[in-house]
Structure 1
Amino acid sequence: MSESTLAWVAAGVRGVIGAHTQAQDAGRTDEVVALYAPDAVLELPGMDPIEGHDALRDAFKSWAPTQPQLHLVTNTVVTSTTEDEVTATSDVAFLQRGESGWAVQLVGHYDDTLRRHEGVWRLHRRSTTFQ
């Protein structure tokens, strides 16, 4: 794969991750779900895997913010790529604003697999670990 193609793929991955983060923090559930492939799986510590758009929609609705929040995603690195599948890792810090200001609630790591779906990159699997 050429260097320019890799740069284009990395930009697409970061675009999906950034759009996900902003939509989730704003409580725009349908926008979050649209970033996942129909058969996507979300894995979170201590929970059964969440599979498919309906289950993802239910989960993200239940996590809709009740106070200002930010997922700060950084250090995203594309770890492998083919024409139709990409894997990437990112660090994440989750902050919420309360009465005393912003506070870090969680720090973790995303392992993402994205696949082309109808010509665009969509999350196919996200595995989250907390540190």
Structure 2
Amino acid sequence: MSEPTQALVAAGVRAVIGAHTQAQDAGRTDDIVALYASGGVLELPGMDPVVGHDALREAFKGWAPTLPQLHLVGNTVVTATGEDEAGAVSDVAFFQRGETGWAVQVVGRYEDTFVRGGDGTWLLKHRVTAFQA
């Protein structure tokens, strides 16, 4: 794969990760679901996998923020596995604002798999979330 193609893959994947994070923190469930492939999978520790748009919509509705929150995602390493597939590993810190201010609630890692949709946009195929603290 050429260097310009890898750069475009990385930019597309990072854009999906950023859009997911901002939509999740704002409670925009439909925007989150639109970032997943039709059979998209989300895995969280201690839960059965969430599979498909309907299940993802229900899950994210249930997780809509009740307090101001912020996911800080960084140290993202993108690996293009082909013209239409890529992987990414990112560190994440989740903050919530309460009566005493902002506090870290959890630190973790996302391991993501992406596919390119028919219109050329990148979509999440599979996200595995691991909590570290």
**What TM-score range do you get, normalising by the shorter chain?**
over 0.9
- Count of matched residue pairs: 131
| Contact kept? 2:86, 2:113, Cα under 8 Å | yes
1:66 is paired with a residue whose SS is coil
After TM superposition, the runs of 4+ consecutive aligned structure 1 residues lying more than 6 A away are: none
Q: Which residue of 2 is the match for residue 124 of structure 1?
A: 125
Gaps of 5+ in 1: none
Rounded to whole Å, the distance in 2 between the matches of 1:80 and 1:8 is: 10
* Separation in structure 2 between the aligned mates of residue 78 and residue 19 of structure 1, nearest angstrom: 16
What secondary structure does 1:96 align onto? strand
Query: Which amino acid letter does the alignment assign opposite residue 29 of structure 2?
Result: T
CA contact (8 A) 2:6 2:80 kept: no
Matches of 2:80 and 2:107, distance apart in 1 = 24
Identity of aligned residues (%): 73
Asked if the contact 2:10/2:80 (under 8 Å) is kept, the reply is: no
After superposition, the C-alpha distances for 1:11-56 in whole angstroms (9 at most, x for unaligned) are: 1010000000000000000000000001000000000000000000
RMSD: 0.7
Alignment of 1:51-130 (within 5 A): 51-118=51-118, 119-130=120-131
TM-score norm. by structure 2 comes to: 0.97
Spell out the pairing of 1:31-70 with structure 2 (5 A cutoff). Answer: 31-70=31-70
The code of the aligned residue for 2:93 comes to: A
Write the distance in 1 (CA, Å) between the matches of 2:4 and 2:114: 19
Structure 2: tracts of 5 or more residues without a match: none
Deviations 1:90-126 (A, max 9, x none): 0000000000000000000000000011221100000
Please state how far the C-alpha of 1:84 moved relative to its aligned partner. 1.1
Q: TM-score, normalised by structure 1?
A: 0.98
Distance 1:71 1:96 in 2: 9
Give CA-to-partner distance per residue, 1:46-83, whole Å, 9 cap, x none. 00000000000000000000010001000010134201
